[in-house]
Structure 1
Amino acid sequence: MRIAIVSILTVLISSFLFFSFKNERLNNVEGITIKDRFSVPSGYERTKEAKNSFGDYLRNLPLKPAGSLVKYYNGSTKSNNNNVYDAVIDLPIGNKDLHQCADAVMRLRADYFYSQKQYDKIHFNFTNGFRIDYNKWRQGYRIAVKGNKTSWVKTAKASDSPQDYWKYLEMVFNYAGTASLSKELKSIEVSDIQIGDVFIKGGFPGHAVIVVDMAINPKNNQKLMLLAQSYMPAQELQILLNPSISSNNKVCWYAINSLPTLETPEWTFKSSELKRF
């Protein structure tokens, strides 16, 4: 009975969104950032984010031209016949099969602090619990792994160049993932959701998507969000379509509500899997 009620509520909410959005042009193909590409529906306004905040950084991420296909790490393309994504975030991902779901989330968090030169705030845990701080890395220390034992060794010159920073990220990608990241983050109630929060299922495999923009209807406080993900094999970040809305009317905005699940094109999350850095 509970499952049936949830299904009915999901259909009703999706139908409401479809009829609300169907006559609106929500995508500006000329837009080169998330904020410029995706207009908010009538009656909604974007949430206020402080200048130079993580939320402001995410909604201003650069996008590839409209119609671009997601690239895998090896240069091949990810078909969009299944209506998974609507836009591709214009960030390099390297040429190794490393930049997957949790890696992309960690990368965005690290990129934000790197752009602000807040290097001391860039740190993540490996799956074995070892904490890898970027400040240590930029001093020339590198990681030595023997079995399950991990340690720092001084083998390089001090550097915070983009090239050495990317090497740091690839080390994180190698030894961290959804299992470790889900333990680092703190659980958040859906009603308190913010840009930068993460829906994450830790495991082997697990998955993670990150909230990159939000809007609110001031009359009823209904919130909407945009979600981004990478996936397997390693691929570019993409803005997800809402699979609950007709594929003939492509919409990326998701309603935020108290339902127990969040359905995305390639994964279904529990609302209890919402977390924050």
Structure 2
Amino acid sequence: MRTGINLFFLFGCTFWMLLNCGQNKSTDKKRLAIAEVSQKIDTTGNTIVTRFQVPEGFDRISADSNSFSSYLRNLPLKPAGSLVTYFNGDVKPNQNVYDAVVDLPIGKRDLHQCADAVMRLRADYLFQNKKYDSIHFNFINGFKADYANWRKGKRILVKGNKVSWKQNSQASDSAKDFWKYLEMVFSYAGTASLEKEMKSISLAEMRIGDVFIKGGFPGHALIVVDMAHKKDTNEKIFLLAQSYMPAQEIQVLKNPNNTDLSPWYGVSEISNKLRTPEWTFKKSELKRF
């Protein structure tokens, strides 16, 4: 739980795993059909696309080099075997949760949690491509925090439940000021607000950059960072990444449902729910920016 200015309380994720979501035995045959062979992890690879090979018979779904999809699958990774670090430097034990750690700084405050990591990846991509006007997120109370105003030197003032802009700085699009903008967003946005900003997507329409999200207090969010398919059947598999509570580095998740396919997940494995190491989502909770 975050504390600070009394606008509202935010909870990005939960400390508790949902242990009562059993697997559907009817998916066993589907799992076997997908996982023809166990895929290998190339420990020398320093990005998602170079670290994680696809199973035999699958090809990565094509993506334009300037797309959000390409940005995500090329996220930098820490050396194989690295453990996730919390905002305060403590280490999160693997506990069979993740297979890789994304090599991006997360700041020194307990802010970079689950929805924050999703917003950060989207914002980072837009910032790097100078699409400044497309960077905006809503606070829990509905206030629109757009980077275009922040870039002009305006800053967000929070007084009780009132939020407003005030010009009190020089115009800047430096990386340092951009991070300050993100930390303001992290402080007052979360799963509850982000879920409302996104549109629902069916599993059949899934693409890289889509987000499984449960808004609430607590809630959780994670993002699809890569996909592959069989060209003859269009059977799809995907990789997932998340942050969590307390604020921590982004991690590429294992698949707890199918060790032969892990870390890839199969779209056809999902009946009504998607079970991940630290949260279970309904299939209807897939969203898109």
Give the shorter-chain TM-score range.
over 0.9
Q: How does 1:1-277 map to 2 (within 5 A)?
A: 7-18=24-35, 20-22=36-38, 24=39, 26-80=40-94, 82-246=95-259, 251-257=262-268, 259-277=271-289
- Counterpart Cα distance in 1 of 2:144 and 2:27: 40
Contact kept? 1:6, 1:259, Cα under 8 Å: no
1:5: how far off? 11
The 2-side partners of 1:127 and 1:216 are apart by 37
1:16 CA displacement: 4.2
Local SS of the residue matching 1:86: strand
What per-residue deviation string (whole Å, max 9, x for no partner) do you get for residues 15-39 of structure 1? 4445x233x4x21000011000001
Deviation at 1:14, TM superposition (A): 3.5
Task: Say which SS state the counterpart of residue 157 (structure 2) adopts.
Answer: strand
Aligned length: 268
Confirm or deny: 8 A CA contact 1:15 1:245 kept in the other structure: no
Deviation string, structure 1 residues 117-164 (Cα, Å, up to 9, x no partner): 110000000000000010100111111111111000111111111110
Runs of 4 or more, structure 1, over 4 Å off, are 15-18
* Deviation (angstroms), 1:74: 0.2
Paired with 2:116 and 2:271, the residues of 1 have a C-alpha distance of 27
Q: Give the structure-2-normalised TM-score.
A: 0.90
CA distance in 2, matches of 1:240, 1:151: 38
Aligned-residue Cα RMSD (Å) equals 1.6
% identical equivalent positions: 60
Pair 1:250–1:274, CA change in 2 (3 A) = closer
TM-score of the superposed pair, with normalisation by structure 1: 0.93
Give the distance between the partners of 1:50 and 1:198, measured in 2 at CA.
20
Greater relative CO (CA pairs within 8 A, separation 6+): 2
CA displacement 1:173-225 (0-9 Å, x = unmatched): 00000000000000001100000000000000100010000000112111000
Q: Note if contact 1:242-1:250 (Cα within 8 Å) is conserved in structure 2.
A: yes
| Aligned-partner SS, 1:21 | coil
C-alpha contact (below 8 Å) 1:127/1:179 kept by paired residues: yes
AA in 2 matched with 1:53: S
Aligned-partner residue type, residue 119 of structure 1: Y
Match of 2:195, SS state, is helix
Q: Matches of 2:276 and 2:74 in 1, distance apart?
A: 22
Q: Secondary structure at the match of 1:172?
A: helix
Q: Measure how far apart 1:10 and its partner are.
A: 3.1
In structure 2, the residue corresponding to 1:52 is in which secondary structure?
coil
Measured in 1, the distance between the counterparts of 2:191 and 2:99 equals 24
Contact 2:34 2:261 in 1 (8 A): no
Q: Is the 8 A contact 1:224 1:253 kept in 2?
A: yes
Partner amino acid, structure 1, of 2:125:
Y
Counterpart CA distance in 1 for 2:286 and 2:106 is 25
Alignment-mate amino acid for residue 229 of structure 1: Q
Unaligned runs of 5+ in 2: 1-20
Structure 2 CA distance for aligned equivalents of residues 5 and 217 of structure 1: 28
